[in-house]
């Protein structure tokens, strides 16, 4: 009986699971003492995907060795959510694959990008969608979620 339950649960995950598995975004100024009226900021995004969902999310040793990209063509973007507008350039969530776990059916990767903002502004950017694990007790599948981070370029004297 245990074997049957395990097989059914695994099949259920394949059929009803969606593709987003989580992620993080961080930022840091490239120069802690900026001069002039702008600051260059390095933004790091790291995303994890269901590697069995589609070929664009699949990663293996070859993908890593060739610096392959996962998530390309998905159309998902990190965009400005609130605050001073016009300075954030949307970032694609396609990332270079860095690792994967076949047993957990997950591919992960990261991407770094430099963006420049005026000093003395603050705003939030994020990645919002609904394709989270479908079998979560709260927040599953298309209930909507957001991964947001705050950028503060205030110059403190």
Report if residue 139 sits inside a domain.
Answer: yes
Task: Please give the Cα distance from 36 to 31 (Å, whole number).
Answer: 12
Report if residue 62 sits inside a domain.
Answer: yes
| Residue-number span of the structural domain to which 44 is assigned | 2-152
What pLDDT does 134 receive?
Answer: 62
Helices (H), 17-69: 61-65
What pLDDT does 133 receive?
Answer: 63
Report if residue 67 sits inside a domain.
Answer: yes
What pLDDT does 8 receive?
Answer: 32
What pLDDT does 14 receive?
Answer: 36
H/E stretch holding 24 reads strand 20-29
Stretches in the chain below the pLDDT threshold 50: 1-17
pTM of the predicted protein model: 0.78
Report if residue 142 sits inside a domain.
Answer: yes
Report if residue 157 sits inside a domain.
Answer: no
What pLDDT does 11 receive?
Answer: 34
Report if residue 37 sits inside a domain.
Answer: yes
Report if residue 75 sits inside a domain.
Answer: yes
What pLDDT does 86 receive?
Answer: 78
Give the long-range contacts of residues 25-33, CB within 8 A, separation 24 or more. 25/78, 25/125, 25/126, 25/127, 25/147, 25/149, 26/149, 27/149, 27/151, 29/153, 30/114
Number of domains in the chain: 1
What pLDDT does 99 receive?
Answer: 98
């Amino acid at each position: 009986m245990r074997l049957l339950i395990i097989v059914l649960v695994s099949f259920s995950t394949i059929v009803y699971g969606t593709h987003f598995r989580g992620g993080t975004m961080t930022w840091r100024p490239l120069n802690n003492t900026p001069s002039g009226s702008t600051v260059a900021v390095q933004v790091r995004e790291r995303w994890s995907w269901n590697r069995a969902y589609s070929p664009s999310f699949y990663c293996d040793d070859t993908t890593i060795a060739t610096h392959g990209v996962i998530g390309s063509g998905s159309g998902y973007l990190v965009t400005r959510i609130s605050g001073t507008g016009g300075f954030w350039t949307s970032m694609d969530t396609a990332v270079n694959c860095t690792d994967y776990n076949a047993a957990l059916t997950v591919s992960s990767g990261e991407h770094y990008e430099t963006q420049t903002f005026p000093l003395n502004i603050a705003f939030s950017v994020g990645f919002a969608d609904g394709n989270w694990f479908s079998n979560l007790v709260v927040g599953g599948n298309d209930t909507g979620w957001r991964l947001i981070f705050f950028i503060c370029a205030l110059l403190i004297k």
